[in-house]
Amino acid sequence: MLEQLTLGRYIPGHSWLHRLDPRAKLVLACYFIVIAFLTTNWLTYVLMFAFIGGVIFLTGLSFSYFVRGIGPLIWLIVFTAILQLLFTPGGHIYWHWGILMITSTGIQTSTAVFLRFLLIITMATVLTLTTAPLAIADGVEALLRPLRVIHFPVAQTALMLSVALRFVPTLLDEAQTIMNAQRARGVEFNNGGLIKRLRAIVPLLIPLFVGAIGRADDLATAMESRGYQGATNRTRYRVLKWHNADTIAVVVILVLNVVLVVLRHM
Amino acid sequence: MAITFDHVNYMYQPNSPFEAVGLSDVSFTVPSESFTAIIGHTGSGKSTLVQHLNGLLKPTSGTVTVDDFQLTAKTTNKHLKSLHQHVGMVFQFPENQLFDQTVERDIAFGPLNFGFTNEEAMSLAHQAAHDVGLPDELLNRSPFELSGGQMRRVAIAGVLASQPRVLVLDEPTAGLDPRGRAEMMAMFAKLKADQQLTVILVTHQMDDVADYADQALVMAHSNLIKAGTPAEIFANPEWVKAQQLALPTAANFAQHLVTRGFEFDSLPLTAEQLAIQLRGQLPKEGR
Ligand SMILES: Nc1ncnc2c1ncn2[C@@H]1O[C@H](COP(=O)(O)OP(=O)(O)O)[C@@H](O)[C@H]1O
Ligand SMILES: [Mg+2]
């Protein structure tokens, strides 16, 4: 079940997107997420979904893989959208019960929430699927570097990030193992009401935390014994290089932005 | 009553970039109340195989039969709970599953999930703790305060407390010292005899295979490549080495003795068999 989740996984490959500079990809993904909020009418949504469709095509991974990968998250998105739907006042009221209501504004906002959420998660998935965790950390470090002026601990932040990203798959595997062990002891993770499901999480989370803390401790010991003393003035082994392709990608997203703004007003 | 695999295939994450074969056309039968060892190098599919025994994995195609239970690709999760109880699973490093505030409650967790009353669960927990050799004074301690070996016993008790009829052990002695390993294997043998369990043991310890197993299954690259008694499995030392497996210590020792002129009717697998066969061959007056 967990292994279906694609957000946060990296699939090595040689597609055009894989080869983009991580700085470019980070900026573009963030930029895309911000302009996802500029969507208003159906034309803008068509544009954005067409764009993300093209991006998925460029990853070289199958479309159905994305659909299934985002599957486990769809409930989170639906849940958020339903909350929006039930609690947004305004416009024509179709139905109401106590503080719950369905209004025309509610339908509009919840649809927008749903579609934007989908766009954002798909983009984030594309980013992590095509960018090695270490490359993401390098990209973040490079982008944050200007903040050193205000004494922001850039190197430490990047290190924290790379360690965190490095352990995502490990923790997912471990969660799977613990889930199996508890299922064998009669826990049902996919059965019963909300309370029962929440209670089933405890025997999963506690061993997971215990394991993660132990692992962090081991890692700290290993780093100290290899002479790590805060990352001051380290030179780097992987040097990032900006290529023409990166410039083209930036231009493409700027064009997208312009078209989006035009469509907004149609 | 027995365990049967009938042309079982299993595919991990089908139709994704991570697709991998877990089991490929595996068929075998294991009689009730027998002791079966599963051996093979790392990644050969041993853990995948044993997770089919209690329905944690369902075959992509083929049928798994465990006593009254049948498991196919179509089996729904609703029918699995009684199978989970019938087949107890001790995973690799089972101490990683401990979570409750006291040892007693952690051991009783399984029985409570399987619908025993609180009183029954507590009494089963005490019995299981006793069976794995945990002293009573540990029962009210936190499981996280115990030593590694004790934690593992707590985890094993937590599986036994649900009164399984089949006990699956996936490398249960990994990471223990030699003495802890010997004690634990002796404990499993005793449990099997006392409770008439069917035991399936995944192991890299060929001595345990020779000492305890009635039969062994050899896995390689997701295939079952050989099934037979330990004597049949180890009969051809060249083949065993080709599978990146080892011989039991006694068999290894006997092979060295053969190069020094000793003769054996059949390759001895245990220290006892070795001693019996050597008895007649040693000179009367030891030098
Ligand atoms: N969750 C998983 N996803 C994909 N492949 C897996 C997974 N678990 C195991 N495998 C693969 O299945 C094969 C058998 O693994 P496993 O049964 O764990 O072997 P063993 O227990 O003999 O070491 C290996 O090639 C392994 O890489
Ligand atoms: Mg294994």
Q: How many domains does chain A have?
A: 2
* A21 min Cα distance to partner chain B (Å): 23
Write phi, then psi, for B277 (nearest 5 degrees).
-70, -25
Closest CA to B244 of B26, B25, B43, B50: B43
Domain match, A141 and A96 both? no
Distance B48 CA to ligand 1 centre (A): 6
Q: Three-state SS for B129?
A: helix
Instruction: Determine the Cα angle at B138 with ends B141 and B167, to 5°.
Output: 110
- B178-195 and B118-131 are packed helices; what angle lies between their axes, rounded to 10 degrees? 130
ipTM of predicted assembly, 2 dp:
0.90
Give the residues across from B90 on adjacent strands.
B169
* In chain A, alpha helices (H): 16-19, 22-35, 42-59, 63-87, 104-130, 133-144, 154-184, 194-225, 244-264
Domain match, A4 and A113 both? yes
Joined together, the tokens standing for residue B61 give 């195609």
Q: Is B43 in the pocket of ligand 1 (CB under 6 A)?
A: yes
CB of A20 closer than 8 Å to CB of A246: yes
Element (H, E) at B181: helix B178-195
pLDDT band for position A235 (50/70/90)?
confident
Residue B51: closest CA among chain A residues belongs to which residue?
A180
Instruction: Count CB atoms within 10 A of the CB of residue B47.
Output: 21
* pLDDT in 10s for each residue of chain B, 287 residues: 699 999 999 999 887 778 899 999 999 999 999 999 999 999 999 999 999 999 999 999 999 999 999 999 999 888 899 999 999 999 999 999 999 999 999 999 999 999 999 999 999 999 999 999 999 999 999 999 999 999 999 999 999 999 999 999 999 999 899 999 999 999 999 999 999 999 999 999 999 999 999 999 999 999 999 999 999 999 988 999 998 899 999 999 998 998 888 888 888 999 889 998 888 787 766 55
Residue A70 and residue A5: Cα distance in Å, rounded? 7
Say what the pTM is: 0.82
Residue B53 and residue B73: Cα distance in Å, rounded? 13
* A190 min Cα distance to partner chain B (Å): 9
Domain match, A104 and A148 both? no
Residue A9 and residue A14: Cα distance in Å, rounded? 16
Domain match, A161 and A185 both? yes
Domain match, A92 and A160 both? no
Q: In which residue are the tokens 């305890």 written?
A: B212
Q: How far apart are the first and last CA of chain B?
A: 54
Domain match, A24 and A111 both? yes
Mean local confidence (pLDDT), A9-38? 90
Domain match, A114 and A185 both? no
Is residue B47 less than 8 Å (CB to CB) from chain A? Answer: no
CB of B39 closer than 8 Å to CB of B206: yes
Residue B59 and residue B71: Cα distance in Å, rounded? 7
Domain match, A145 and A126 both? no
Distance B71 CA to ligand 2 centre (A): 21
- Looking at residue A148, its pLDDT comes to 85
Distance B62 CA to ligand 2 centre (A): 22
Residue A64 and residue A47: Cα distance in Å, rounded? 21
Catalytic residue among B19, B33, B120, B171: B171
Joined together, the tokens standing for residue B172 give 């249960």
Q: Note down the domain range covering A177.
A: 133-234
Joined together, the tokens standing for residue A69 give 């990968």
Residue B87: closest CA among chain A residues belongs to which residue?
A184
Joined together, the tokens standing for residue A75 give 């409930």
| Cβ-nearest to A184 among B17, B89, B99 | B89
Residue B144 and residue A209: Cα distance in Å, rounded? 12
Residue B112 and residue A203: Cα distance in Å, rounded? 13
**Do B17 and A11 count as a contact with CB atoms less than 8 A apart?**
yes
Domain match, A151 and A206 both? yes
**DSSP state for residue B32 in the 8-state scheme:** T
Instruction: Count CB atoms within 10 A of the CB of residue A20.
Output: 21
Domain match, A125 and A3 both? yes
Domain match, A48 and A84 both? yes
Joined together, the tokens standing for residue B104 give 């007693």
- The Cα-based distances of A34 to A38, A86, A123, B4 in angstroms read 8, 26, 11, 57
Q: Which amino acid is at A76?
A: L
Domain match, A154 and A105 both? no
